[in-house]
Structure 1
Amino acid sequence: MQAKKEISMPPRSQPSERQRRFGAELRKLRLDAGLSGDQAAALIGVDRQRVSHIESGRVDVPRNGLYSLLRSYGCVEGPLFEGLLSMAQNRGKGWWDEYRDVMGRHALDLAELEAGATSGVRSHEQLAVPGIFQTADYARAICETSDGEDAAIDRYVAFRLERQRILRDDPPTPYHAVIHEGALHTRIGSPQIMRKQLCRLIEVSRLPHVTVQVFPFEAGAYSAFSRPFTIFGGMTPELETIRLAQPLGPVLLRDRPSLDKYTKIFAKLAGLALPPVDPEMSPESHEGRDSITLIQHLMYTL
């Protein structure tokens, strides 16, 4: 009876990123198996339109129906099978839903991607300290450039700080950031705000699950060539997502060639960047230039 009730639910108008991704993965598996939408519909006793809604993330598929689809599509039990089951079962709203009054779809998708990145996040930023590491004052100074009302800005800042919960969760999400030196030179707010932000960056970089590297000016133009992007790890490599920052709004990539490309780009960025902060290393043991010494130098020059 429960499965029948789920099938009869009307399509949702704005599926979340997780729901869209789940549907897209089912469609990819179906096409790879050489099955039509009508054949998939027959497997779970629904019409073709319902399969279309499932594959667009607009409706859910009952657990028994999902088992039938995955097995018929040739998806054997393993990481991908379990990952898709987990995505299908995760139907509750996240904390970010409380901010739908002020945050757009792209911001809500970002929060959901971060929360679902069980195997970690890798990010490359050029223009500012990543939001996941920002202090409240630094975040406010950025938000105030939008000329929004104070009440809305308060909500924007609160949303950005809420995203940081992934660093405090049990277990926390592994996070590796490569930040261009130019982002640390860019004056956002007062010198006091910048100093506290750089101090916060050092503080968070000492967490065992956080890696912070600075891409110095002398490392060349490769950072500018690659542009800002973030890789969100899933339960299996097939479920990773890349988010590209674009002037007209972010672009999400999920295909294997793009995932392989940006994984290699990030590896090269990390290789060219200064060594990361070592939480076990005492300050006096830094013999060469590394990320923490550069950040400290910038703090003292403000």
Structure 2
Amino acid sequence: MPPRSTPSERQRRLGAELRKLRTRARLSGDEVAALLQADRSRVSHIEAGRVDVPRNGLYKLLRAYGCESGPLFDALMDMAHDRGKGWWDEYQGVLARRALDLAELESRTISIRAHDSSVIPGLLQTEDYARAVIASAESDHTHLDQGVQFRVDRQRVLAGLQSYHAVIYEAALRMRVGDTKTMRKQLLKLIEIARLPHVTLQIFPFEGGACSSFSRHFVLLGGRTPELDTLYREHPTGADFIGDGVVIADYARMFERLTSLALAPVDPETAPESQATRGSLGLLQHVLYELR
């Protein structure tokens, strides 16, 4: 089978992790090729995610690279033999590859830390809000309905996470997306979701400074082992999936700073009307009142 020209993010990440391990083990591409009884080009294709490596071949590689049995070993074996199939398959050829890659990545994630400085994060959006956001962002509305349904379908991942923590800039609450009814429903949904025991929601107020505005949109997706954590960043022409541990650590520190400057999160143990101190819930309620 010829090498694939457009590997999925999972395939690309597996290859990148194998390259890291090989480099750390100080093995050359030729030495690995000999181990696999293949030529040097095949090793390059494996590390670029363009071809798959058989289960026994991957086992040999991981052992040769000094990757001992444990969470990382098991996760890499699973990544290699995961066919990448899921509910997102029905959107093949309709939505961009990066959207499908994100859905697949979220399905393997155990924790999410998200920051957004302009809109409500996608996993927390109502259907009407999502429709208004997508319609505003894209000039071609041919697949608008599918795009909205895809965003709604992605939200099923929330139930299976160990933790979800979002910091949302106050501007996202006040920016009018759709009509008043759409915004009210969206803010009420935020309060409802924020009271789930594994969900933490904080609002970064205007008086907190410019940190949230400069930080822009990013998502830290926690894998089964820290080595497989991923940073996801969107930009006007696409998105980046970053597995560099140094960059991820920088963004993790940025997220901690945002949480320290943001308002106190909604307390899932306390009814909204009984929270006296000013916090994220108080600001949400205030914006809701202004929308009447």
Identify the TM-score tier after normalising by the shorter chain: over 0.9
Aligned pair partner of 2:120 in 129, 145, 155 = 129
Is residue 84–residue 104 contact of structure 2 (8 Å, CA) maintained in 1?
A: no
CA distance in 2, matches of 1:68, 1:147: 49
For 1:156, the equivalent position in structure 2 comes to 147
After TM superposition, the runs of 4+ consecutive aligned structure 1 residues lying more than 4 A away are none
Paired residue total: 290
The alpha-carbon deviation at position 138 of structure 1 amounts to 0.6
The alpha-carbon deviation at position 282 of structure 1 amounts to 2.1
For 1:27, the equivalent position in structure 2 comes to 19
The alpha-carbon deviation at position 147 of structure 1 amounts to 3.3
The alpha-carbon deviation at position 94 of structure 1 amounts to 2.2
How big is each residue's C-alpha offset from its partner over 1:65-95, in whole Å with a ceiling of 9 and x where there is no partner?
1111011111112222122112112124122
Aligned pair partner of 2:200 in 211, 226, 233 = 211
Unaligned 5+ runs, structure 1: 1-8
CA distance in 1, matches of 2:283, 2:85: 41
For 1:252, the equivalent position in structure 2 comes to 241
RMSD across aligned positions (CA): 1.4
For 1:5, the equivalent position in structure 2 comes to none
The alpha-carbon deviation at position 64 of structure 1 amounts to 1.1
For 1:6, the equivalent position in structure 2 comes to none
CA distance in 2, matches of 1:98, 1:13: 21
Task: Point out the more displaced range, 172-181 or 264-273.
Answer: 172-181
Q: Give 1:16-95 correspondences, 5 Å limit.
A: 16-95=8-87
When normalised by structure 2's length, the TM-score is 0.95
Partner SS state of residue 143, structure 2: helix
Q: Structure 1 residue 299 and structure 2 residue 288: aligned? A: yes
Is residue 166–residue 173 contact of structure 1 (8 Å, CA) maintained in 2?
A: no
The alpha-carbon deviation at position 175 of structure 1 amounts to 1.2
CA distance in 2, matches of 1:91, 1:51: 20
Aligned pair partner of 1:99 in 91, 104, 121 = 91
Give the aligned residue type for 2:220: I
CA distance in 2, matches of 1:300, 1:282: 17
Is residue 176–residue 211 contact of structure 1 (8 Å, CA) maintained in 2?
A: yes
CA distance in 1, matches of 2:272, 2:88: 38
CA distance in 1, matches of 2:47, 2:220: 23
Is residue 121–residue 174 contact of structure 1 (8 Å, CA) maintained in 2?
A: yes
Is residue 117–residue 215 contact of structure 2 (8 Å, CA) maintained in 1?
A: no
How big is each residue's C-alpha offset from its partner over 1:131-172, in whole Å with a ceiling of 9 and x where there is no partner?
1011111111112222333x511011011101101013xx34
For 1:166, the equivalent position in structure 2 comes to 157
Identity %: 57
Task: Point out the more displaced range, 245-254 or 158-167.
Answer: 245-254
Partner SS state of residue 167, structure 2: strand
How big is each residue's C-alpha offset from its partner over 1:254-289, in whole Å with a ceiling of 9 and x where there is no partner?
112111111111011111111111111123431211
Give the aligned residue type for 2:79: M
How big is each residue's C-alpha offset from its partner over 1:78-137, in whole Å with a ceiling of 9 and x where there is no partner?
22212211211212412222112221122122212211212x010100110011011111
Task: Point out the more displaced range, 85-94 or 126-135.
Answer: 85-94
Is residue 178–residue 212 contact of structure 1 (8 Å, CA) maintained in 2?
A: yes
Partner SS state of residue 251, structure 1: strand
For 2:103, the equivalent position in structure 1 comes to 111
Is residue 117–residue 171 contact of structure 2 (8 Å, CA) maintained in 1?
A: yes
CA distance in 2, matches of 1:218, 1:80: 42
Is residue 124–residue 228 contact of structure 1 (8 Å, CA) maintained in 2?
A: yes
Task: Point out the more displaced range, 79-88 or 257-266.
Answer: 79-88
CA distance in 1, matches of 2:266, 2:68: 41
CA distance in 2, matches of 1:66, 1:94: 24
Is residue 272–residue 281 contact of structure 2 (8 Å, CA) maintained in 1?
A: no
When normalised by structure 1's length, the TM-score is 0.92
Unaligned 5+ runs, structure 2: none
How big is each residue's C-alpha offset from its partner over 1:195-248, in whole Å with a ceiling of 9 and x where there is no partner?
001011111111112111100111111112222111010111111111122233
Give the aligned residue type for 2:250: K
Give the aligned residue type for 2:68: V
